[in-house]
């Protein structure tokens, strides 16, 4: 089947290679114009892979723009995959993209549609998540019939980094399993039960600010949910930003004002929380974090 691939990120590129390896004839790759934006998590170049596959490269900042839709239609695709793209595709794109359009979402749909699935999975305390391959039947986010799912357990010490890696592997497993079924016409589609749907809202870098009145175990979750490849949890020392990449909770006697650095340990400074304390194991700041300083 003639296949168009829409993506701008590393997981999408790896899935594209896997789909080609599974037999998809890649005739076009729609991606963002280069160079890669360092502030956009996971963005990568598709130039070399598109050339290797003999696919036409379509660069666009808006997948629903009229010229992008026309470029996709001119490729005469049978199917299109949207894997790692920040916009919803609209009706004109869907109409131009072949008999079926497929998307992937890193949760177990219909639960947890929407944005920032990796941070939210950790912040909400899920014991497992997963990846869903589904058909994009309309412009509604993550709502189409399910083609396949892979479950991914979440350990008590998983971080955004480790969960991202596990979900990346699950994406590849789904592509390798489901693409041959799609190409042969044997893929089943199971409608989502809208009664069981839930949705997570978008997160921005500013949502990572730390409230030191919070109990230390939850701040541990807060930090690990937003570490690399995301912008990180952060706080302030006067006018200097402190980004915290790794931390762990510790017992502390009550009494210190929340946000106060109460001691220095070999692993890093200890900050008093609403209950307990947090050892800052890895952080970035232009200031020295001294005992007695107050963060917030």
Give the per-residue pLDDT at 40: 83
Q: Taking Cα atoms as reference points, which of 228, 230, 223, 213 lies closest to residue 281?
A: 223
Residue 291 lies in a domain: no
Residue 97 lies in a domain: yes
Domain that includes residue 232, residue range: 205-284
> Which CATH number is 127's domain given?
3.40.50.170
Same domain, 13 and 103: yes
Give the per-residue pLDDT at 38: 79
> Which CATH number is 225's domain given?
3.10.25.10
Tokens 């690990």 found at? 224
User: Which of 200, 221, 250 is the last residue in one of the domains?
Assistant: 200
Provide the β-strand partners of residue 260.
Answer: 294
Same domain, 219 and 164: no
Please determine, for residue 245, whether its predicted confidence score (pLDDT) is greater than 90: yes
Same domain, 128 and 247: no
Same domain, 105 and 32: yes
For the stretch 56-76, pLDDT in tens is 999 999 999 999 999 999 999
In whole numbers, what is the pLDDT of the chain averaged over residues? 97
Same domain, 246 and 144: no
Total structural domains within the chain: 2
Please determine, for residue 44, whether its predicted confidence score (pLDDT) is greater than 80: yes
For the stretch 91-133, pLDDT in tens is 999 999 999 999 999 999 999 999 999 999 999 999 999 999 9
Same domain, 66 and 194: yes
**Mean pLDDT, to the nearest integer, of 267-287?**
97
For the stretch 78-89, pLDDT in tens is 999 999 999 999
Q: 82-115: buried (b, 16+ CB within 10 Å) or exposed (e) per residue?
A: bbbbeebbeebbbebbbebbbbbbbbbbbbbbbe
Same domain, 12 and 145: yes
Give the per-residue pLDDT at 90: 97
User: Which of 163, 184, 200 is the last residue in one of the domains?
Assistant: 200
- Cβ-based neighbour number of residue 31 at 10 Å: 27
For the stretch 133-175, pLDDT in tens is 999 988 888 999 999 999 999 999 999 999 999 999 999 999 9
């Amino acid at each position: 089947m003639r296949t168009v691939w829409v993506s701008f990120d590393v997981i999408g590129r790896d899935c594209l290679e896997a789909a080609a390896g599974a037999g998809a004839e890649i005739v076009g790759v729609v991606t963002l114009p280069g160079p890669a934006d360092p502030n956009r998590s996971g963005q990568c170049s598709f130039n070399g892979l598109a050339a290797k596959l003999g696919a036409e490269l379509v660069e666009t900042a808006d997948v629903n723009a009229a010229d992008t839709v026309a470029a996709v239609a001119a490729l005469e695709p049978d199917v299109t995959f949207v894997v790692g793209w920040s916009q919803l595709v609209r009706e004109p794109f869907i109409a131009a993209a072949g008999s079926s359009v497929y998307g992937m979402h890193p949760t177990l749909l219909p639960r947890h549609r929407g944005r920032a699935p990796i941070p939210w999975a950790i912040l909400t305390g899920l014991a497992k998540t997963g990846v869903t391959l589904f058909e994009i039947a309309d412009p509604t986010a993550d709502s189409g019939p399910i083609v396949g799912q892979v479950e991914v357990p979440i350990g008590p010490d998983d971080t955004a980094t480790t969960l991202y890696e596990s979900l990346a592997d699950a994406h590849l497993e789904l592509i390798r399993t489901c693409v041959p079924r799609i190409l042969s016409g044997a893929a089943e589609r199971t409608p989502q039960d809208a009664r069981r749907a839930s949705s997570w809202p978008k997160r921005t870098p500013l949502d990572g600010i730390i409230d030191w009145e919070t109990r230390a175990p939850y701040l541990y979750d807060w930090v690990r949910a937003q570490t690399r490849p995301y912008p990180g949890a952060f706080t302030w020392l006067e006018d200097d930003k402190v980004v915290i990449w790794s931390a762990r909770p510790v017992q502390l006697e009550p009494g210190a004002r929340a946000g106060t650095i109460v001691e220095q340990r070999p692993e890093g400074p200890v900050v008093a929380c609403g209950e307990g304390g947090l050892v800052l194991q890895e952080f970035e700041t232009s200031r020295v974090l001294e005992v007695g300083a107050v963060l917030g």
